[in-house]
Amino acid sequence: LLRQKAKRVRLFDASIQRLADNMVETMMFENGVGLAANQVGIDASVAVVNVIVVVDVPSPLSTVEDEST
């Protein structure tokens, strides 16, 4: 999956929100700066990024590429 273009999300629903929430939790647990769905075996254009707004205060950001973009 890492070398393939991920599929766009057709509908941002509760399952995509849960995916993003779980990815944020995993990223924060591992002290990561970002995580894409295909890195965890899911073929979807979903990514989370740890954006540092204030020093040492993490602020996770989730992005989803849906069919409208």
C-alpha distances (whole Å) from 30 to each of 4, 26, 35, 52 are 25, 6, 10, 16
pLDDT number for residue 51:
76
34, with CB counted inside 10 A (0-12, 13-18, 19+), is middle
pLDDT number for residue 22:
95
pLDDT number for residue 31:
87
Q: Is the pLDDT of residue 28 over 80?
A: yes
Q: What is the pLDDT of residues 38-64, one digit of tens each?
A: 999 999 999 998 876 545 656 666 666
